[in-house]
Amino acid sequence: MKQKKIANVWAFLILLAGTVFMIAPFLWTLSTSLKEQRNVFEIPPKWIPNPATFANYNEVWEQSPLLNGFLNSLIIVVTVLTIGLFVSAMSSYAFSKFEFPLKGVLFMGLLGTMMIPYSVVMIPQYIGFSRLDWVDTLLPLIVPGLFGNIVVVFFLRQYLAGALPNDLIEAAKIDGCSFPRIFWSIALPVMKPALAAQAALGFMGIWNDFLGPLIYLHTPEKQTIQVLIASMQAMYVSQSNFPLIMAAAVIAMIPVILVFFFCQRYFIESLAISGIKG
């Protein structure tokens, strides 16, 4: 018993040291963002900015259309998540609970998509979208997502297989419930926790996406927040204006961290479920 207690104390201390290592970079970023530029190069480094100033945030906000960036990111996330998740839920329902000709071939084909890395389709997609004159619009980043996501379909299919009893569907059928109605009022509510988990993961994935937006969006007003922040770095790193860059980094992090704190349960759950199922 005593031995166990000592082990627990050691575990706690090691974890605490790790926690410091994990959080220190965030605190340092925050601290730097509140300093005046001439105080940044002090040695030894000071953790508490003195004087503290919000001027960097003001300047970053004025220099770059960050509000547009947030809105653009938000538009992409919201449309892709609502429509894409709904569409994924539909097909996962069909794949998990019913038999139909060509089902196996179609599903295997879809699974094959997971093997195609984005970099292989990135160039032909770009050429296609530029033919449609969609470059420098949000469309190339939204439209492909509206067709559902195979990883999500796969995950939801597994979930439904365990969570939705076939008898329930049969009973609804006998009661004269139509196919879309059964999906809407029986299957979809059952899927809710899994959908929430996927929404949490999807939000992070889309919000933090960089390569796609970087390729397609060129006008600053049309760029997503990540692209704006990255271009800001190119502007200020040559002047060594680290407080400004750190302010930009903090601004980019705040929404994700807020969402994370409010939906933490779903994040941890989604990761845990997908990991074990995967």
Partner 1 sequence: MQTKKFSGYRRKELFWLYLFVAPPVLGFLLFGLVPMLFSIYMSFQDWDMLSDPTGVGLSNYSELLKDEKLYKSLYNTVYLMIGIPIGMVISLLLAILMNRPLKGISVMRTIYYLPVISPIIAVSLLWQWILNQDYGLLNNLLWDWFGIRGPNWLGDPDWVKPSLILIGLWGGVGGNMVLYLAGLQSIASSYYEAAEIDGAGAWHKFTKITVPLLSPIHFFVLVMGIIGAFQSFSQIYVLAVDGGPEYSGGTIVYYIFQHAFEYFNMGYASAAAWLLGILIFIVTLIQFKLSNKWVYQD
Helix (H) or strand (E) run with residue 28 in it: helix 2-33
Q: Which is nearer to partner 1, 55 or 214 (CB)?
A: 214
Q: Which of 25, 141, 2, 3 lies closest to 78 in space, CA to CA?
A: 141
Minimal distance in Å, beta carbon 1 to partner 1? 14
Minimal distance in Å, beta carbon 211 to partner 1? 5
| CA 161 – CA 228 distance, rounded (Å) | 42
The answer to whether the Cα torsion of 105, 106, 111, 112 is positive or negative is positive
| CA 238 – CA 59 distance, rounded (Å) | 17
Minimal distance in Å, beta carbon 161 to partner 1? 16
Q: Which is nearer to partner 1, 75 or 87 (CB)?
A: 87
Minimal distance in Å, beta carbon 165 to partner 1? 18
Q: Which is nearer to partner 1, 192 or 265 (CB)?
A: 265
Q: Which is nearer to partner 1, 61 or 260 (CB)?
A: 260
Minimal distance in Å, beta carbon 184 to partner 1? 12
Q: What is the largest CA-CA distance in the chain?
A: 77
HEC-encoded secondary structure of 215-261: HHCCCHHHCCHHHHHHHHHHHHCCCCCHHHHHHHHHHHHHHHHHHHH
Q: Which is nearer to partner 1, 16 or 171 (CB)?
A: 16
